[in-house]
Structure 1
Amino acid sequence: MSRPPTAAQRRVIEAADPLTGRLRGTEAQLAALVKRGLAFRHPRAPHEHFLTPAGHRVREAVPEPAREEPVPDTGVFAARVGGEEAAPADAAARLREVHGAWQGLLELRRMTNSDGAVDRPCGWERTHLVRAAALALEAAGHRPAGVDADGYRVRATPQPEAVAVYAPDARSLAACAATLERAGWQAGEYTDPRTRARYLLASPRRV
């Protein structure tokens, strides 16, 4: 059985980019993580280091409150799940951030899916369902709900590997379903038996 990472190595893992798994550390630290199978050195320049699926599992094992929810005003990108109290002040900057995050997620799919496929979700998305679905929607131009504005809302569900997506009308809900399906998710419409509200139940596609 392999030894667990040292405290110093765990700090490097915990500090990895939450979306791409990109690492920062000394050459010795990064080399040690590669040797343990927790990181790999990208073959293309500038030869940065990224977490492997095993490294991501180590990182996910570290307790962190409300990982599925965006944390405001921290300087760390988080997809808007809908219902946030305030929209980003700089819309153009937000568009650039969302585009960059989506491109980073596609690269993460390429690096971590066993066949290099970018048309279906990767392991990170399966452990961050709400954020992943929200990023797919926001990157495609859908508007998240705000305090005084209608839009999509992505919420966790008791079902494994499934999120609920709400939208203000049937047309918006169908558009969200089409976006998620293009992003590699399966989505079906359901009716809440109590409120009669229509919603999507979406889960990452495996094949």
Structure 2
Amino acid sequence: MTRPPTAAQRRVIDAADPVTGRLRGTDAQLAALVKRGLAFRHPRPPHDHFLTPAGHRIREAEPEQPEAPAATGVFTARIGGEESVPHAGPARAREVRGAWQGLLELRRMTNTDGATDRPCGWERTHLVQAAALALEAGEHRPAGQDLAGYRVRATPQPEAVAVYEPDTAALRACAATLEEAGWQVGEYTEPRTRARYLLASPRRA
């Protein structure tokens, strides 16, 4: 078994960009993470370092990060139905725009052809968050405790999420946003409840 990262390496991993996985650290720290298979150096300039899937798993294994300042909270896209949600004001809108631009940059740097109109590997391993970010960046309203809106949920199907939205027009607008963001989308009806929902998967080509 591989030894766990040192405390200093763990701090570098925990401080990685929440969307792109881009790392900041000394050359020695980054080289050590690459050697352990927890990071990779991108071949294109400026040759930044990013977490590998193994690095992402280590960071997500312990969501509590007591050594990080409380003010540096990790961005989380709203999947709908959260008990505690970020204030939906200008600051949140800026955070969403920044996260979406970061995701487009990750697509550019990690898709083999540099395409930004097609989901990347990170999105395929974080389906619910990726779809929710696309919807929130598209200015759709997530459901609150007492408010209608979209809800993104995992499904038993590989590489597929379900999107629920009680308003038919809003549901179809969500479908259009996801398709524009590079997802394949189909509209379905639940047999028992007759509720309409979307089944969305990241497009591969």
What corresponds to 2:40 in structure 1?
39
Deviation string 1:43-85 (CA, Å, 9 cap, x unpaired) is 24xx6x331xxx422124436279xxxxxx9811100000012
Indicate whether 1:123 and 2:124 are aligned. Answer: no
What corresponds to 2:49 in structure 1?
50
Distance 1:61 1:85, change over 3 A: closer
CA distance in 1, matches of 2:55, 2:14: 6
The answer (yes or no) to whether the contact 2:40–2:52 under 8 Å persists in 1 is no
What corresponds to 1:22 in structure 2?
22
What corresponds to 1:70 in structure 2?
none
Distance 1:25 1:116, change over 3 A: same
Alignment of 1:95-106 (within 5 A): 95-106=93-104
The answer (yes or no) to whether the contact 2:142–2:151 under 8 Å persists in 1 is yes
The answer (yes or no) to whether the contact 1:130–1:163 under 8 Å persists in 2 is yes
Q: What's the Cα RMSD here?
A: 2.5
| TM-score (norm. length: structure 2) | 0.84
CA distance in 2, matches of 1:15, 1:98: 19
CA distance in 2, matches of 1:148, 1:139: 22
The amino acid across from 1:40 in the alignment is R
The amino acid across from 2:74 in the alignment is V
CA distance in 1, matches of 2:146, 2:72: 23
Distance 1:123 1:83, change over 3 A: same
The answer (yes or no) to whether the contact 1:120–1:205 under 8 Å persists in 2 is yes
CA distance in 1, matches of 2:168, 2:88: 30
Q: Unaligned stretches of 5+ in structure 1?
A: 67-72
TM-superposed deviation, 1:159: 0.5
**Number of residue pairs the alignment of both structures matches:** 193
The amino acid across from 1:162 in the alignment is A
Distance 1:29 1:181, change over 3 A: same
Deviation string 1:96-154 (CA, Å, 9 cap, x unpaired) is 00000000000000011111100010000000000000000000100000012110000
Secondary structure of the equivalent of 2:198?
strand
Secondary structure of the equivalent of 1:164?
strand
Indicate whether 1:64 and 2:61 are aligned. Answer: yes
How many percent of aligned residue pairs carry the same amino acid? 69
Q: Unaligned stretches of 5+ in structure 2?
A: 64-70
Deviation string 1:152-181 (CA, Å, 9 cap, x unpaired) is 000000100000000121111110000000
CA distance in 1, matches of 2:2, 2:18: 21
Alignment of 1:184-199 (within 5 A): 184-199=182-197
TM-superposed deviation, 1:27: 2.1
| TM-score (norm. length: structure 1) | 0.83
TM-superposed deviation, 1:18: 2.5
The amino acid across from 2:49 in the alignment is F
The amino acid across from 1:78 in the alignment is T
CA distance in 2, matches of 1:149, 1:36: 46
CA distance in 1, matches of 2:131, 2:14: 23
